[in-house]
Amino acid sequence: MLNIVLFGPPGSGKGTQSEKIIEKYKLCHLSTGDILRGEIANKTELGIQANIIMSRGELVSDEIVIGMIKNKLEANKDAKGYIFDGFPRTVAQAEALDVVLNALNQEISCFISLEVEKDELIKRLVKRGEECGRTDDNLEVIENRIAVYHKQTAVVAKYYEKQGKSHPVEGMGSIEEIFERITAVIDK
């Protein structure tokens, strides 16, 4: 099975590239951000709580997102592989993911880290906020999401480096160019 973690700061293009990867490799897409936004849209108790945290740009608790991922894996047992997008975002989440996958006799095949400069991240996210109105895509919250990424999430790359699975990919350029770089890593 091909199990990929697509990693990178907010605005690095994880969602866009995930769509292209699942189409090419027929993987099951597991995006904690998308699942949380689904809960918000359905006005569930979890969604109401998560919305408060997300609109500040902070991280939802590890316990909640790990539970969500477990449910999704359980519900998609027949998948050819998974792409994890926006998860894991803390070392505790990365450890929990290894435990869950081990129990299924599986493991992460590769960790792809999209590298994009801060100015470009802000430009992309502000533009997305204007176009599709995500409440966390406004300048103040964007700055906080990037700060939270450096404080709590960037260290996850070290976890996969130690396992020899980390592959940094240049995330500047056209969508197609970046996708080619990603497929070169996956196909190796």
Binning the chain into helix, strand and coil, the percentages to the nearest 5 are 60, 15, 30
Q: Is 181 a catalytic residue?
A: no
As a whole number of angstroms, the distance between CA 57 and CA 25 comes to: 31
Q: In terms of CB distance, is 54 or 110 closer to ligand ADP?
A: 54
| 100 φ, ψ (degrees, to nearest 5) | -65, -45
Q: Is 124 a catalytic residue?
A: no
Decide whether 18 or 166 has the Cβ nearer to ligand ADP.
18
Question: Pick the catalytic residue: 127, 145, 158, 181?
Answer: 145
Q: Choose, from 37, 89, 124, 181, the residue flagged as catalytic.
A: 89
Residue carrying the six token digits 């435990």: 99
- Least distance (Å) from ligand ADP to the CB of residue 16? 11
Residues shown for the chain: 188
Q: Is 80 a catalytic residue?
A: no
Residue whose C-beta lies closest to ligand ADP: 33
Mode of pairing for the β-strands spanning 2-7 and 81-85: parallel
Where on the chain is the footprint of ligand ADP (CB under 6 A)? 10-11, 14, 32-33, 36, 53-54, 57-60, 65, 86-87, 89, 93, 136, 145
For the CB of residue 188, give the shortest distance to ligand ADP in the complex, in Å: 26
Of the pair 93, 113, the CB lying nearest ligand ADP is at: 93
Q: State the nearest-atom distance from the C-beta of 171 to ligand ADP, in Å.
A: 12
Instruction: Please say if 70 is a catalytic residue.
Output: no
14 is annotated as an active-site residue: yes
Q: Which residues contact 63 (CB under 8 A, 6 or more apart)?
A: none
Torsions phi, psi of 32, nearest 5? Answer: -65, -35
Of 14, 72, 124, 181, which is the active-site residue? Answer: 14
Give min distance, CB of 187 to ligand ADP, in A: 25
Q: Please, which residue, 32 or 166, has the CB nearer to ligand ADP?
A: 32
Within 10 A of 21 (CB to CB), how many other CB atoms are there? 23
Q: Give the Cα separation of 66 and 72 in Å (integer).
A: 10
Partners of 2 in the beta sheet?
81
Q: Report the catalytic residues.
A: 14, 89, 128, 134, 145
